[in-house]
Structure 1
Amino acid sequence: MVKKTEIHAQQQSLPGKESLMQPPAEFIRPDYRGSGKLEGKIALITGADSGIGRATAIHFAREGADVAVMYLSEDDDARETQRLVEAEGQRCLTIAGDIRDAAFCRASLEKVIETFGGLNILVNNAGTQQVCYDLTELEDSQWENIFATNMHGMFYLTKAALPHLGEDDAIINTTSINAYVGPEAMIDYSATKGAIVSFTRALSNQVVGRGIRVNAVAPGPVWTPLQPATWGAYDPQMLEDFGAQTPMGRVGQPSELGPCYVFLASLDSSFISGQTLHPNGGTVVNG
């Protein structure tokens, strides 16, 4: 059983850094044993410098995949992810830049193909959020930035990746429990996460005939740098006992999310597409 993590008041600035988090997050359970489920596969993961993206990269590597790590600007965190992937005996490529830029997304995909010779798994995980309790005070620029980061970058990368994907390959999109529960403080973020659910379902229907599976993961509260950089920045005290509202009474760890992405990336999910997994601490969302 995973022990409850005591989270205390703290804050960071966006996009947040893994190295500043207290307590540190867990990325892979010590007893997690790889079984070659992704042997020989090549994966591209956005937002993989920290949090859920880093956990996914490490789990993929332990299962035998080479990994390309895309991130915005957190060089130290990205180097640590690279170290952890390479410690699993796999190759790791790091690519820094802004996924709001379509040309950067296309160039990044080309770099992955040139480096590794192909692509089998795309994980659209990068995202951002901010807190705003009054829609009339939500700046147009914030609305546009949230959609550009969370949704447009996903579109650009997926569009570039599709010609390189084929039978038994997978696309996995990170949505959120907030797409289903609609928190009042994050209308813009929740709207993007709802769009990701619909994007996942429609794209699955479009490419399932090619043998490409498209699924999503909708995490509940997970201990990642985005939390102190958003909730903590708004009010550090809001992080006290973060996650305690879940039925399990605790925040999730990235180590508990990585296996979800392994499942959806591997042939364990060979008869699953257009679906969403809900690792959220027991909250029933009926979605």
Structure 2
Amino acid sequence: MTTTLTGRTALITGGGVGIGRSIAQHFAEAGARVAVTYRTHEPDSTFHDAIVAAGGHPPLAFAVDATDPTQVRATADNVAGEFGGLDILVNNVGGLVQRAGLADLDLDLWHTILQVNLDSTFLFSHYVLPHLRPGTGRIINVASLAGHTGGHPGALAYATAKAAIFGFTRSLAKELAPQHITVNALAPGFIEATPFHDTFTTASSKAATIDTIPAGRAGNPDDVAGPALWLASDLSAYVTGTITDINGGQYFH
């Protein structure tokens, strides 16, 4: 068994930038045909050319609001129609949206953050499931270290959503195991070169966080793409319901 994905098809949500983009490229290099969704970070020509160079198959890209059931269902059906089915779903859409502690967190913002991070994971899983092929079917949910630790100040709703993804992953893994479809989650720690930290983390906070990482450096999107590739491949066919921590030794559970 190897990490080859030749003949497999994959949908990566939020795949135009950062972690999602790296996962898409690694999957293409392993032989998969890939489709990505985006909302604010449209894949550029460099992304397109890199995917073609890696795997030879032009990527599909769909603008979609991952919290809108109608758009999500149409996207799942369109991708499966173009590919003749699907093997791999990576639920990568998510974001902090806005830092807010409990005193400043109104119900609308709470709902928005949960929708972006948790509802999107449910919706894509729900509408992609009918297209996933038994045996090669994989769902990989991108959660966060914040789901374990509560995150930095102002991440209350975000950390709650990411912790909920852990429970969602484990329950769905049990549900789909008889269909030979695996469900696992990734919990990245501090990953640079992503919109999350470019937007919400100051230089001083980045430096302070890196000081707490035993590996002595921040992670990068490729550090997350490697475990994703393993979970998507036949090497992990008997692995389901797991949370893979990717944080350079910063946290164990």
Identical positions, percent: 34
Spell out, residue by residue over 1:258-287, the C-alpha distance to the aligned partner (whole angstroms, 9 max, x if none): 11011000011011000011111112331x
Spell out, residue by residue over 1:153-205, the C-alpha distance to the aligned partner (whole angstroms, 9 max, x if none): 11111111111112231000001111111124311100000010000000000
Q: Which residue of 79, 85, 110 maps to 2:51?
A: 85
Equivalent runs, 1:159-238 vs 2, <5 Å: 159-165=126-132, 166-183=134-151, 184-223=153-192, 224-232=194-202, 237-238=204-205
SS at match of 1:100: coil
Which one is further off, 129-138 or 207-216?
Answer: 129-138
Q: Is 1:42 the equivalent of 2:9?
A: yes
Which one is further off, 186-195 or 81-90?
Answer: 81-90
Partner AA of 1:169 in structure 2: G
TM-score, normalised to structure 1's length?
0.82
Counterpart residue number, 1:25: none
Q: What stretches of structure 1 move > 4 A for 4+ residues in a row?
A: none
Counterpart residue number, 2:72: 105
Q: Is the 8 A contact 1:36 1:64 kept in 2?
A: no
- The structure with the largest helix share of the pair is 2
Counterpart residue number, 1:278: 245
Offset of residue 117 of structure 1? 1.2
Partner AA of 2:140 in structure 1: I
Q: What is the rounded CA distance, in whole Å, between the counterparts of 1:133 and 1:153 in structure 2?
A: 21
- Pair 1:168–1:97, CA change in 2 (3 A): closer
Counterpart residue number, 2:19: 52
Partner AA of 1:231 in structure 2: T
Q: What is the rounded CA distance, in whole Å, between the counterparts of 2:97 and 2:118 in structure 1?
A: 15
Q: Is the 8 A contact 1:130 1:186 kept in 2?
A: no
- Pair 1:131–1:245, CA change in 2 (3 A): farther
- Pair 1:267–1:205, CA change in 2 (3 A): same
Q: Is the 8 A contact 1:121 1:169 kept in 2?
A: yes
Q: Is the 8 A contact 1:181 1:285 kept in 2?
A: no
Q: Is the 8 A contact 1:39 1:64 kept in 2?
A: yes
Q: Is the 8 A contact 1:43 1:65 kept in 2?
A: yes
* More contact order relative to length (CA 8 Å, sep ≥ 6): 1
Q: Is the 8 A contact 1:69 1:78 kept in 2?
A: no
Spell out, residue by residue over 1:100-124, the C-alpha distance to the aligned partner (whole angstroms, 9 max, x if none): 1110000101110121111000000
Q: What is the rounded CA distance, in whole Å, between the counterparts of 2:85 and 2:250 in structure 1?
A: 38
Q: Is 1:65 the equivalent of 2:35?
A: no
SS at match of 2:67: coil
SS at match of 1:217: strand
Q: Is 1:129 the equivalent of 2:96?
A: yes
Spell out, residue by residue over 1:102-157, the C-alpha distance to the aligned partner (whole angstroms, 9 max, x if none): 10000101110121111000000110104536311113222111111111111111
Partner AA of 2:46 in structure 1: E
Which one is further off, 82-91 or 109-118?
Answer: 82-91
Structure 2: gaps of 5 or more residues: none
Counterpart residue number, 2:112: 145
Partner AA of 2:232 in structure 1: A
Offset of residue 255 of structure 1? 1.3
Q: Is the 8 A contact 2:35 2:79 kept in 1?
A: yes
Structure 1: gaps of 5 or more residues: 1-34
Partner AA of 2:201 in structure 1: W
Partner AA of 2:196 in structure 1: L
Q: What is the rounded CA distance, in whole Å, between the counterparts of 1:268 and 1:151 in structure 2?
A: 28
Q: Is the 8 A contact 1:244 1:251 kept in 2?
A: no
Q: What is the rounded CA distance, in whole Å, between the counterparts of 1:68 and 1:266 in structure 2?
A: 17
